[in-house]
Amino acid sequence: MLAGVILAGGNSSRMGTDKSLLTLPNSRLSLLEHCQRQLAFVCNNIFISGSQHDQGIADVIPNCGPLSGIHGAITHFEMHNSNISELLVIAVDMPDLYAEDFDHLLKMGRKNRCLCIFEQCFLPLYLPLSVDVTEYLASALKHQQDESLVKPKQRQYSVKKMLSSLQGLQIPPLKNTQLGNINTPEQWHQRCDEPPFIGT
């Protein structure tokens, strides 16, 4: 069974406020609501990674970027949703991705039976669950609980390294796919032509 996972647990330090709550000017949906709406076209089961959200899945091993969220979600599914066998993982701060982009990634990942991303962009990610995936994440994150063991440049926390280690696939995006993400107030202003706004 497929589950959609929205990574929305970051600190949003460069934005200065929780990015997932920023409101898109046209729809007045928050970035999180927008992601949920688009994922719903391809996933019946949608989960949020981030303990600050209602029913959000907390990281088991924090401070490892997207891998923390992915690992936390998989751990949660092993305990509570063992019938989930594949994930579509997206980032909450990429508002110009839509259902057709997710559907394309999903179809290509399933066709090739492997991790799948768009070229040069490591989220969104199609991730079929397997022993190899869980073992890789356990190995990659094992030193996080004692950061002194590993120098920052030696840490293996990136989706890029996971894709390479597990022989994932990079595919061309669709013609109109927009893969940019939003990290700063300036980027938000450029995207929406207005300052960041938190909905009530």
pLDDT of residue 51: 86
Number of H helices, E strands in the chain: 6, 6
- Range 2-192 has CATH code 3.90.550.10: yes
Residue-wise DSSP of 139-150: HHHTTGGGGGGS
Torsion angles phi and psi, residue 99, rounded to 5: -55, -40
Q: Which residues in the chain come in under a pLDDT of 50? A: 148, 150-156, 197, 199-200
pLDDT in tens, 91-121: 999 999 999 999 999 999 999 999 999 998 9
Pair type for strands 86-91 and 2-7: parallel
* All structural domains of the chain with their residue ranges: 2-192
pLDDT of residue 169: 96
Quick one: CA dihedral 66, 72, 75, 80, positive or negative?
negative
C-alpha angle 112-78-69 in degrees, rounded to nearest 5: 75
pLDDT of residue 132: 95
